Amino acid sequence: MTLDPNTFLAIVAMAVATALTRLAGAFFIRYISIGEGTREALDAIPPAVLMSVIAPTAFATGWAETIACGVTALVATRLPLLACVAIGVVTVVALRSAGL
């Protein structure tokens, strides 16, 4: 159980940087008057962030991932979360073992 001083400093730097990003948005939004346009823009943030995180997997990794993402999106409107994730994971494993 060692703790290297350089490693500890790096962890603290990462923690401080991350904490700042977590607090900044909620802090600054209090000073912006939320009209209808702002509300609509804020509502677009969740899908925009999530799409950005998954886009490289969905469209730039391989056919197995792209197809599995499509299958997951198709079942997402009808089935609960866990079932959709299971279907997505099984699909990607099947397609990868098929050589895609």
Partner 1 sequence: MNSENQFLLGTRAMLPIIVAAIPIGLVFGAVAAANGLSPLEVTLMSALVFAGGAQFVAMDIWTHPASWTGLGLAALLVNVRHVLMGASLGPRLAAFSPWQKYLGLLIMADENWAMSEARARTAPLTPSYYAGMSIPFYLNWVLASFIGAVLGAFLGDPAVIGLDFAFPAVFIVLVAGFWKGPSTGLVLMASAAAAILVHRYVEGAWYIAAGAAAGLAVALLAGRFGKTVPAE
Task: Name the site residues for partner 1 (rule: CB under 8 A).
Answer: 1-4, 6-30, 34, 36-37, 40-60, 65, 68-69, 72-73, 76-77, 81-82, 84-85, 88-90, 92-93, 96
Between CA 73 and CA 81 the distance in angstroms is 11
Q: Least distance in Å: CB of 22 to partner 1?
A: 5
Q: Is 87 exposed, middle or buried (0-12, 13-18, 19+ CB in 10 A)?
A: middle
Q: For residue 53, which phi and psi values (nearest 5 degrees)?
A: -70, -40
Q: Least distance in Å: CB of 80 to partner 1?
A: 8
Q: Which is nearer to partner 1, 49 or 99 (CB)?
A: 49
